[in-house]
Every structure is written in C-alpha cells, then in structure tokens.
Homo-oligomer: A and B are copies of this chain.
Amino acid sequence: MKRIACLQVAVAAVAGFVAFTALASGHADEEAAPIFAITIPSGYRDWKLISVAHEEGNLNDLRALLGNDIAIKAYREGKLPFPDGAIIARLAWIYVPSEENNKVFGRSQSFVAGPATNVQFMVKESNKYAATGGWGFAQFKDGKPAGAALLKTCFPCHEPVKARDYVFTHYAP
C-alpha cells in the first residue's frame, strides 16, 4: 500500500519536475530536488526563527529552524495541521569549538556555527504531497539538491511525530 502511494508520488513528482524545468529555463542554478520537485525558496535566509538545536554523532551540527510567514503564524497560534503554503527550513552548520570565545571565558565551553552543511525544507501542500503526510521534502548542499534515495528516507523518519503533523521541532518562545 505504501509502495503504491510512493509510486504515485514519484509519478506526480516527475510531472512536476518537467513543469518546473519548463518554468525555470534561464535559471540554471535553481535546480529542483527530486521526487517532490522543490526548489530553494527565495529569501528563506530572512525567515523568522522557530528554534535551534544541536545534533551529535554523524551530523555533528548546530542547526536553526526558520519558517515562512504561514509556518510561523501556525506555530505561534498552535494550529495543526500546518496550512498549505507553510514551509519550514532547517539550516545547519558544522559544530565547532570557538577558541576565541573560550579564551574570554577562561575555559572550554563555547561552540559556534562553522561552515554550512546543508539546508533542508519541508513544504506543505496537502494534495500534492498527500502520500507523505502533505509534506514535500528537499535537501540542498551548496545549492545542489540531494538525490531521490536520501529524500525517500525523510517521511519514514518523520512518521513518529504524525500527531504534530510530522514536524519534530517545537517553537522556542
């Protein structure tokens, strides 16, 4: 059943990708991520802050979650599910100790954002992405989209938080 749904998404995505490619001619750097046909949303670096986090292990990053106005409004009003048009951006940077800060503090305690790792987006379009909880997923590194294999892992990972419309991050007041 899931497999069928996934195929439907794939077919829809291919159609979407073709449409996008036609629209985006002349914008060679705006490459769409596969499956969900998502491009980097314009101006996302200016969006408002949802929260911050630190992931250890392989990820080894500091991250910030930003939301477009639709997402931020839904977060602040505590409204679920997120309405269509909501986009959540996850920026991440390598987790690096700050020698400069530690010198001032007189001890090793300060970790800051190093070089960017990648940026991910969740885009809510309940009909378009019905097979994946209404969300499309994308990841870009230096402007280049991640492949389909990686993007197929997004939704299964987000399924445990179905009760919060598949969104892990809580709003930080």
A51 to chain B, nearest CB (A): 5
Residues of A within 8 A of B (CB): 45-46, 48-49, 51-57, 59, 62-64, 66, 91, 93, 95, 98, 100-101, 103-105, 107-113, 116, 157, 160-161, 168-170, 172-173
In the complex, residue of chain B having the shortest beta-carbon distance to the beta carbon of A46: B48
Q: A55-B111, A57-B105, A113-B172 are in contact. List 10 more A-B contacts (CB 8 A).
A: A49-B64, A49-B91, A51-B113, A54-B111, A56-B108, A56-B110, A57-B107, A100-B161, A104-B160, A116-B172
Question: What would 18 A/B residue contacts be, using CB atoms closer than 8 Å?
Answer: A46-B48, A49-B64, A52-B52, A52-B64, A52-B93, A54-B110, A55-B109, A56-B108, A56-B110, A57-B107, A59-B109, A64-B64, A64-B172, A100-B160, A104-B160, A113-B170, A113-B172, A116-B172
A66 to B172, CA, bound (A): 14
A24 to B103, CA, bound (A): 40
Q: Is the CB of B160 within 8 A of A112?
A: no
| Number of identical protomers | 2
The 4 closest A-B pairs by CB, nearest first: A113-B172, A56-B109, A57-B109, A54-B111
A43 to chain B, nearest CB (A): 10
Q: Is the CB of B49 within 8 A of A113?
A: no
Q: Is the CB of A62 within 8 A of B57?
A: no
A157 to B54, CA, bound (A): 26
A58 to chain B, nearest CB (A): 8
Option from B46, B110, B172 in Cβ contact (under 8 Å) with A93: B172
